[in-house]
Structure formats: structure tokens, C-alpha cells
Amino acid sequence: MPSPSNPATSPVLKDDLDIVIPTMRDLDFLEKWRPFFQPYHLIIVQDGDPAKKINIPEGFDYVLYNRNDINRILGPKSVSISFRDSSCRCFGYLMSKKKYVYTIDDDCFVASDPSGQKINAVEQHINNLLSPSTPFFFNTLYDPYRDGADFVRGYPFSLREGAPTAVSHGLWLNIPDYDSPTRLVKPHERNTRYVDAVLTVPKGSLFSMSGMNLAFNRELIGPAMYFGSFGEGQSIGRYEDMWAGWCVKVICDHMGYGVKTGLPYVWHSKASNPFANLKNEYQGIYFQEEMIPFFESVRFPKEYTTIEQCYTELSKQVHEKLGKVDPYYAKLADSMATWIEAWVELNPTSI
């Protein structure tokens, strides 16, 4: 990984990346991120009671949106931004006009690599997004574009230019992103293993995309990065980032874009309450067994070349195929359609 002190190999992209943070509380965690986040513009999306005042440490360049702002800006389309879950970050994706977005949860702190060096998560995500992906053939030495690595023998030469990278999914030291049953069974498990790798999730494979530490190329995939309606008043919770990940992955597979996972790590400080989570998740745990085969079966017409086309088609397929499983999906499909309308309205030239 390039050193932050070497500008030649350290693309800062400070005018091309927004950091989107959903929160319900004072953002003291930003103090820890100051050396890495301060050059960037922050988009803070306040969940919960808009009357509550959130403290933000001085010296950051930010804009803060609360529910009143969302309602005012989106009008009737604001129903697509759900409440009391982490989905409200999507509003930040809508409002950003930058090429890249990094989103992070406010319980994630700066991790250290095995040498004790603090990890600049933004820089690693940028490196991941600026170098190609390898979705069409698995490279056993991981990211072939990294210093000291390359394509191994047997890797087809015609594929060595790689594919544009749409998503960089980072990981977590300390508290891993487990579901509530796993947390209930293993309350004390901590992730202490630093795996020094970035790799591309192969074409045709689904994965779990956590929203805690996630960057993406908004120009390539922004309109599909919708975290759905899994918040207050819905029968299913804690699936917002998973849902987005499956939507994004099937669309990336169609478009020939890559999705990377691995470095950078952040330090995830606290697990949410597994008892409360179980209540939110349990319906999803059933539903998921239907969702995965559905996403595995999704195909788009060859002539679809925009994210908007694919996403609109996906919302129709959700309505038609998953709507039979539970009426909840019909509502979700409607939210997806509304989201795309909102995206087009606020980003008329992007898609």
C-alpha cells in the first residue's frame, strides 16, 4: 500500500470523494479520524428526532441533513428513505455530487495494521477503487495490481486489463459483523486476524456487503446503492446493506464491473444488542432463503447498458417474483422504483 506521505502514489482525490455518515448521536468519533477525514467533505445524515442537536467536532467541512430536510427536498419521494436503521445514509448518496463516496458507521474507529501503523481507510478504499478488478478469473495471489504481486501463471492474458471497480468493501477488526444468532452463540468472539489482502468477488458469486466501512464509485453504481426499506414500521430489519449488496452485485455482474473486498480494516467498537437485533432480523432470516435464489436467478436483457435500466427492471422482478412470497416485497419494490425516480430527479445527468 502506498504510504500517505508519498503524494505521487497517494491519490487523495479530496475534491472527488464525499464521506457519508448516518448517525443519531454526537460525532465524537470524528476526533479519531481527524487526520484522515479532515481533507474531505462530510455528508452527515441524522436519523431519529430532527429536533435533537448533534455535536460535530470543529474543523470539519460538513453538511448535515435531518428528517425535515429529507422530507423538504424529496417531498413525496421521501418515503423511499427509511427511518431508524442505517438506510438514511442513502440520502447522502443522492445529495453527493462527487465521483466517489465513502460511508462509515459512527462506532467504527481507526484500526492498526500488524506493524502498529494506523490504517488510513479512505486512502486504501481509493486505491481499491482506482485500480481494476478481476471478476472473470480468480487470481490466487489476490490483487494482481498491488505492489509485489501480479497475475499468476495460467491467468488469461486477454483478461489482464481487468474491469472497472465499482465497490470497495472494507472489513472490521474487533467486533465482526455477525448476525444476532451467531452473536448470541459467540458473544465474546473478536476478529483479531488481519488478512493482508484485497480481492475481487468473482462474477456470479453473491456476498454479504456490510455498510459499516464501504466505498463506491458513485458514477458507476450510485443509482443501485439503495439500502431499501427495512427500518421503522417494516417487518424486516438489519438487511438494508445486504439487500443493497445483492442488488449491486447482480448489476455489476451484468455491467462488467468489479466488487472488491478485504482491506482496509476499521476498528468496530461495539456490537449492537443481539437480543434487540434478533427481533429485527428473524423475519429476514426466513426471507433470505428466498432472496438468495432470487438474486442468483436475476438476469438483465443484454441491451441494458445503464444502472437505471437495470435497477428499474430489478424492482419489477422483485415485485413479480418475491411479491408472491410476502407482500412486504411489493412495498420494497415500490420503494426501489421511487428511489430511482428520486435519483434521476436529483442527478439528471448521471444516468
Q: Which residue has the cell 441491451?
A: 303
281 φ, ψ (degrees, to nearest 5)? -85, -25
As a residue count, the chain comes to 351
Q: Is 188 in the site for its own copies (CB under 8 A)?
A: no
User: Is the Cβ of residue 18 or residue 179 nearer to its own copies in the bound state?
Assistant: 179
256 DSSP assignment = T
Q: Which stretch binds its own copies (CB under 8 A): 6-14, 65-73, 96-104, 193-201?
A: 193-201
Q: Which stretch binds its own copies (CB under 8 A): 57-65, 222-230, 282-290, 332-340?
A: 282-290
The b-or-e profile of 311-348 (16+ CB within 10 A means b, else e) is bbbbbebbbebbbeebebbebbbbbbbbbbbbbeebbe
Among 36, 83, 109, 194, the residue binding its own copies under the rule CB under 8 A is 194
Q: Which residues 121-160 are close enough to bind its own copies by CB under 8 A?
A: 137-142, 148-158
Q: Which residue has the cell 423475519?
A: 283
Contacts of 75 (CB under 8 A, 6+ apart): none
Q: Is 189 in the site for its own copies (CB under 8 A)?
A: yes
Q: Which residues 287-346 are close enough to bind its own copies by CB under 8 A?
A: 288-289, 292
Q: Is 226 in the site for its own copies (CB under 8 A)?
A: no
Size of the site for its own copies (CB under 8 A): 57
Which residue pairs, CB below 8 angstroms and at least 24 apart, start in 65-71? 65/91, 65/92, 65/95, 70/45
CB of 140 to its own copies, least distance (A): 5
Residues near its own copies, by CB under 8 A: 114, 137-142, 148-158, 169, 171, 176-179, 181-182, 186, 189-197, 199, 201-210, 238-239, 241-242, 245, 261, 285, 288-289, 292
